[in-house]
Structure 1
Amino acid sequence: MATRRMLRLPALEVRQGSRRIYCFAVDGKKLHEFAAVSRIRRDDDAQLQGYQRPEVASHIKAIQRYLESDGAILANAVVLAFNSKVHFESSNGREVVTYSTPGELLIPVVDGSPDSEKPAWLVDGQQRSAALREADVQEFPIPAVAFIADDESEQRAQFILVNNTKPLPKGLIHELLPETQAHLPPAYARKQLPAVIMTRLNGTFKGPFYRSIATPTSPDGYIKDNSVLKMIENSIYEGALYKYRNPHDGTGDVDRMLQHLNTYWSLVRDAFPEAWALPPRLSRLTHGAGIQAMGYLMDRLTQHLQPDEMVPVVNDALKRIEPGSAWTGRSWNLGDGNPRRWDSIQNTPNDVRWLSRGLLYLVQQESLFLHADDSGYGEV
């Protein structure tokens, strides 16, 4: 029979506006008795679960060796999200300041309980907590800060904000943004809608990008997530997808955007099937430069078209670029008298600009629906 007990920890309740946070100390060796790591993954219905990146073994080992050395100190607090099973009881002592109250945190602990039933999730400090768990020390008290939130969406938001100044992997942020319902810094807020679109393209809409974009929950994907995100972001704010966006509140018609993207990129995939099936090191079509350049071409060709109108226009354009393109071999011949080896194209602003202009030049030859003076590609 599982042993149930109540862990009582001296704590300080700090009031921040309408919210409360709790500052306390806890033996790091006992942290995993009541706190779990919410590992990022997708369930059978492709719904995002959790938010933490995988453990980094080398990082954990380095911290562990330090903890086992003389004079080790961990001054940075771990951050925990408690559920409503955790309570704070204030003491009857005199309140020195109005914004903080001393007392105790009451944390229910069930020995041997699975992670899903533990009352706390680790929002920040998973590598430190793992190192503490493995360290050959009998006890190691650490500072902790916690807040109470049953909603995993709020936990994700806090996880992003806590790591805002740290080198958090971009791919992890991109997967978390669509599931986050909270105020975000402007740079993240701008990417939230593109991240929603990218997630749908990769996981729930069986088009050309289905399971092809490399993310923490889709490690077998071969197209870089940041390349697709840049392409979508540019189109939403400056290109063909802008017409489906509400510029006042930043929302958009996600289904129409998906239809537009999948129609265009399905035509691209069908026009260059071999290049589309290869990873970026073997194909410049799935490379960051190719994804962005073909995205700019989509914006130029389809800016004023609906999905059901774009097929003949796009197919004609793809036929025009085929002779001069070199996605997987040969040399690029884009009309500037400067042929380049196929794999010399890199994911740099200059190369993306060169490839975008060159593809547009090929399309414009003998074309009645595009004109150099209004192409918009002078500023690509």
Structure 2
Amino acid sequence: MSTLHLSETLKSRFSANDLALSASLGVGANALKEKFIRLFSELSDPLITAQEAIALLNVSVELGDAISALEELRTEGFLEKSTSTQRALDKNPPTLYRLKESTVQRLKLFGIASKLDDGAVRLQFTIDGRLIRSFAAVDRLDVVAGTGNQRDEIYKHVSDISNGMRDGVQVPNSVIVVFNEEVFSWAPSDDEVPESWVVCRQLSDWSLVKHPTDHDRIVQEVCPVELDIPFRNAAFDEEKTAYLVDGQQRTAALSLVDIDAVPSFFLTVNALVGSQEEAKNTFRIANSTVRITTDFARALLGTLDETPGYVREEKRVAQAVKTLAIDDKNSPFYGLVKHPGVDGKGMPIVYNTLFSVVATFNQSGIDFGEGSEDLAHAVAKAYSLVAGIWPEAWGKSSKDSKLSHGAGLRAIGKVLVDLLRVQTAIHGGDLTKPEAWAGVEASLKRLRAKVLWSLESASTGNATQLSNYKTQLLPRQNTNQDIQQLTTFLQKEVVFLDKKAKDGSA
């Protein structure tokens, strides 16, 4: 038998005996389709890609032929597939195949239920960490779909954790999951609920612990429970009964640990029961004291339906940024922003830059309307003028255009707000009047006579444009001091040019 070239993730899911059995099924002249039938029948409910099926059989076939055979089996009702199930370390959900007919088992765990001061209940239990992702779905921050709440796994960090697990280092901090309240029942043992539901059975009365000196105070209220969870090794995400909101990297690390070397690895789990919205809030709170990129945290706010008052304004900004960057195809920023959850390769504008721009508009005191859509509309309208007046600089790499640079976008944003304040005063606060925006456009057109945002355009412009580019634009970095200096320069130029135009000497 030739050496099996299997990834670490396969070795973490299939024992050496399973791998040897799979390879033996690949031997012989049987049709590939027949080999796949035996593979899915002999292994314990596998959930695999076409590439993994080829590797398990250790056969030399074209990927297209394997997919064709698997699709035939799916059409015949032997297999089914998912294109939306997210496994550990998969960059994007792959096409996964599994047996169509398989009995759902029950995973019964013992744990402790604890009451909190507000009457809510938390559950604590330990479990082999490899099982968690079979009942708890992991949502990355998927802003395109409007769902999801997990950071992308950092492979090196995950690898470091897995190395520790191989060496027997226990993980001290708990994984946090939220059981979906729509399929969860707090029930006595004789209650009947659908097979797809989680049942939590109380095994004794609540035990109360009183304060040692103040017996009227309860300091702990607990009881033992049994968690009865529907379980399938090859569960699709939509079938899972919980959300994994903290512990993605710890559970992912187990997908790099050989199951023969470490047959089981126990993790502690803290669980609550709630909605997907509560899962998002739990993730945000759990990570509030952990290093998490600002752009991710802000983008997450944009996906929440409800937020505490102190982050409500940030949420409005985050939702407006999402609209500008990935929802509104007519936005001048559409397809140009490295928004979390979107492949940002080649996109010139950094998320936090646009967030700062939108925040400047939001904090301006100008009435753009109440909703995030109104705010996004105003920003889009203002920057559409900018894109139209400097088309040669818009959407280019920040190396080629200072208008795509953080300093340039933020500085011109402050100028736009100043111009809109003027037009608001002139038109009685009514920015729906076309002449208000025409006034902003006229000021920007006058500014173009002094300012060009790229070396290429400035080099073919007038002497003033080239001088201003070299002395005022080119040296500026994305620091508060440089942004303020560039803003001041632009503001002075606009005031001078507008006054000159008003005096009739332009």
Task: Quickly name the TM-score band, shorter chain normalised.
Answer: 0.7 to 0.9
Note the alpha carbon deviations across 1:310-360, whole angstroms, 9 max, x for none: 3322222222222332411159969x9996264321011111111111111
1:253 positional shift: 3.3
- Could you tell me which residue of structure 2 aligns to residue 89 of structure 1? 201
1:291 positional shift: 1.3
Q: 1: distance between equivalents of 2:201 and 2:450? A: 73
Equivalent positions of 1:332-343 (< 5 A) are: 340=471, 342-343=473-474
Note the alpha carbon deviations across 1:124-155, whole angstroms, 9 max, x for none: 01011011232131111111101112x32221
- Could you tell me which residue of structure 1 aligns to residue 233 of structure 2? 111
Q: 1: distance between equivalents of 2:306 and 2:469? A: 49
Gaps of 5+ in 2: 1-100, 185-196, 210-219, 425-429
Distance 1:260 1:181, change over 3 A: closer
Q: Which amino acid aligns with 1:279?
A: S
Q: Which amino acid aligns with 2:404?
A: T
Equivalent positions of 1:295-306 (< 5 A) are: 295-303=413-421, 304=424, 306=431
- Could you tell me which residue of structure 2 aligns to residue 26 of structure 1? 127
Q: Which amino acid aligns with 2:276?
A: E
Q: 2: distance between equivalents of 1:349 and 1:106? A: 55
3-state DSSP of counterpart to 2:483: helix
RMSD of Structure 2 on Structure 1 (CA): 2.6
TM-score (normalised: structure 2): 0.65
- Could you tell me which residue of structure 2 aligns to residue 359 of structure 1? 490
Equivalent positions of 1:33-182 (< 5 A) are: 33-42=134-143, 46-70=144-168, 72-83=169-180, 84=184, 85-92=197-204, 95-97=207-209, 99-136=221-258, 137-149=262-274, 151-182=275-306
3-state DSSP of counterpart to 1:18: coil
- Could you tell me which residue of structure 2 aligns to residue 321 of structure 1? 447
- Could you tell me which residue of structure 2 aligns to residue 203 of structure 1? 326
Distance 1:171 1:370, change over 3 A: farther
Note the alpha carbon deviations across 1:231-277, whole angstroms, 9 max, x for none: 111221225xx3135xxxxxx23343233222211110011112112
1:94 positional shift: 6.5
- How many residue pairs match? The answer is 356
Q: Which amino acid aligns with 1:21?
A: R
1:229 aligns with 2:387: no
Q: 1: distance between equivalents of 2:394 and 2:157? A: 36
Distance 1:113 1:275, change over 3 A: same
Maintained 8 Å contact 1:154/1:182: no
Q: 2: distance between equivalents of 1:214 and 1:339? A: 28
3-state DSSP of counterpart to 1:122: strand
Q: 2: distance between equivalents of 1:96 and 1:123? A: 30
Q: 1: distance between equivalents of 2:110 and 2:486? A: 62
Q: 2: distance between equivalents of 1:65 and 1:237? A: 48
Distance 1:326 1:170, change over 3 A: same
- Determine what percentage of the aligned residue pairs are the same residue: 26
Note the alpha carbon deviations across 1:84-107, whole angstroms, 9 max, x for none: 232321112661435222212221
Q: 2: distance between equivalents of 1:124 and 1:311? A: 47
- Could you tell me which residue of structure 2 aligns to residue 249 of structure 1? none
Distance 1:94 1:122, change over 3 A: closer
Q: 1:2 aligns with which of 93, 96, 102?
A: 102
Q: Which amino acid aligns with 1:322?
A: R
Q: Which amino acid aligns with 2:356?
A: K
Note the alpha carbon deviations across 1:46-90, whole angstroms, 9 max, x for none: 4312111222211111111111114x1101000011122323211
TM-score (normalised: structure 1): 0.86
Maintained 8 Å contact 1:2/1:112: no
